[in-house]
Amino acid sequence: MSVPPSPASEKVPTWLWPHLLSLEAPIVAMAWTAGLAHLHRVPAMPGVLPGLGLCAWIIYVLDRLMDTRGKTEAQLGLRHRFHRRHRLAFLAAVLAGIGLVIRFGFWTVPADLMWQSALLSVPVIFYLALYAAGGSQWFFRGLLPLGGVTLILFIQSAPLRPNFKMSLTLIISAVLLMLTLKQYQERLRSAMSKDLLGGLLFALGCTAWSRFVRNGSDPVGGFVEFSLLTCLFVSNLTGISTRELHYRWLAAGFGAAVGALALVYQGSLAASMSTLAASCGIGFVLLLILDRARASLSENAYRVLADVAVLVPVVGLYW
């Protein structure tokens, strides 16, 4: 069996390099966060955008590196081969990125925002454990418990309500216990798809600054915003992996956009939410058009254009 050529010998086109370097996720995350900040007239504070971008990049790199475990070169796509061949450089960059994220968290952004964002590490660890570890038991019975204990200690030191701390600690402990057992690992994977969990995480990250600014003052608006972005990002991910679910999430997205517009018309939502709904609607239309053109596109071209389809709608937030 021949070994696939390296990215250099494959003459990778310039437009594909951001994809190889896992830059598409942080670009989309920072663009949507900045767009939402503009929409709500609350510019993002220093450290918010680079911190979010680094977190998204770190998660994507770890996901792709862990996806390569136990697979031959022939079983890997171009981006995964690239990450495996340059894994030491990527891991060094990840460590440096973690250091910068810690710096932003403790010395740049407000403490309350740092603690709220830190809680997102719970679903992130859950995501990596279920879908990126590749069934590796050293991860489930070694690295994962160590990370879980560290997270629990971190939560105990956070300025949170005692009852909330206790509830969160119990939830994390229960999840860690289930994840150490193989039978529960499979059940959890079947209960929640990777695309759904990934889209939810991405939407949580992109709306973190909005939630912090709102501080619970507009729960309906916050829920609609989160729902629209979740539908958009899950539609992006399912378009790559599962076309049947892709159409369902596109339909859900169109329904959410129409529902948001109706609530604005009734006066139940701020007028700015109509701009968000219309922008997301553009994203759903672009993804639908892209799906129709799928047969004439390579897999890598589709992936890149799918990311462009969720990036372009951000422009609408500035109108």
Encoded amino acid at 1, one letter: M
What's the mean pLDDT in 196-202? 92
Q: What is the DSSP secondary structure assignment for residue 37, as one 8-state letter? A: H
Q: Has residue 149 got a pLDDT over 90?
A: no
Residue 38: CA atoms inside 13 Å, Cβ hemisphere, count? 15
Encoded amino acid at 143, one letter: L
User: How far is the C-alpha of 194 from the C-alpha of 138, rounded, in Å?
Assistant: 21
pLDDT digits (tens, 9 = 90+) for 87-145: 999 999 999 999 999 999 888 998 888 888 877 877 887 787 777 655 555 666 666 77
pLDDT digits (tens, 9 = 90+) for 287-299: 999 999 999 999 8
Portion of the chain with pLDDT greater than 70, in percent: 89
Residues 183 and 223 in one domain: no
Q: What is the DSSP secondary structure assignment for residue 267, as one 8-state letter? A: T
Residue 241 belongs to a domain: yes
**Would you state the pLDDT for residue 244?**
81
Residue 59 belongs to a domain: yes
Residues 105 and 136 in one domain: no
Instruction: Give residue 162's pLDDT band: very low, low, confident or very high (50, 70, 90).
Output: confident
**Would you state the pLDDT for residue 1?**
43
pLDDT digits (tens, 9 = 90+) for 7-37: 444 577 888 999 999 999 999 999 999 999 9
User: How far is the C-alpha of 195 from the C-alpha of 127, rounded, in Å?
Assistant: 10
Residues 19 and 100 in one domain: yes
The domain total for the chain is: 3
